[in-house]
Amino acid sequence: MTVTIDYKSPRTWITLVVFIVVVIGVGGLIGSQSTPGAWYESLNKPPFNPPNWIFGPVWSTLYLMIAVAGWRIWMLAPASTAMKLWFAQMIFNWIWSPVWFIGEMLWPAFAIITVILALIVAFILVARQRDTVAAWLFVPYAVWVGFASTLNLSIAILN
């Protein structure tokens, strides 16, 4: 049985708005409470470390894509494995910044980001069976978190 999203339903659009507001809102709140400070500035960083200003626009864009992917799967199969993976990666995503910036714990943050990357890849593999658009929306996220994992590891090794 093929399930499709009813794009004419107000419930569909309200649900999309809720996903966007929660993902971007919680991400933004956590980001505003765990900004890079003197500790982060004092760390030795690899030459491929991007400038700080790049993280805000990248994460804003990724959070929008994450929200849309989650919404699409929710509308098709809210109790599915793909949706459970989506929620799990979101929780770990929100945990990483406080562990890194507030807790100043480089190696635990690396463990967390490794879990995030595994959950993202699992989501892509599972979600593509129901909705290829949702799966593709996670590909840039996977690439960024792969890069961020390498950066996290490099900083942990250098410090």
pLDDT (tens digit per residue) in 90-133: 999 999 999 999 999 999 999 999 999 999 999 999 999 999 99
Residue 150 lies in a domain: yes
- 58 is written with which tokens? 């990248």
Please report, for the domain that includes residue 91, its CATH number. 1.20.1260
Residue 154 lies in a domain: yes
Residue 147 lies in a domain: yes
CA of residue 80 relative to chain centroid, distance: 19
Task: Note the pLDDT of residue 36.
Answer: 81
Residue-wise pLDDT tens digits, 148-158: 999 999 999 99
Residue 4 lies in a domain: no
Residue 5 lies in a domain: no
- 131 is written with which tokens? 């909705």
Dist CA 78 CA 101 (whole Å): 33
Mean pLDDT of the chain: 94
Dist CA 123 CA 84 (whole Å): 9
Task: Note the pLDDT of residue 2.
Answer: 53
Residue 1 lies in a domain: no
Q: In which band, very low, low, confident or very high, does the pLDDT at 48 lie, cut at 50, 70 and 90?
A: very high
Question: What's the domain range around 68?
Answer: 10-41+50-158
3-state secondary structure of 21: helix
- Tally of structural domains, the chain: 1
The model carries a pTM of: 0.93
**For every residue of 60-122, which 3-state class applies, written as one string?**
HHHHHHHHHHHHHHHHHCCCCHHHHHHHHHHHHHHHHHHHHHHCCCHHHHHHHHHHHHHHHHH
Flag whether pLDDT at 1 surpasses 60. Answer: no
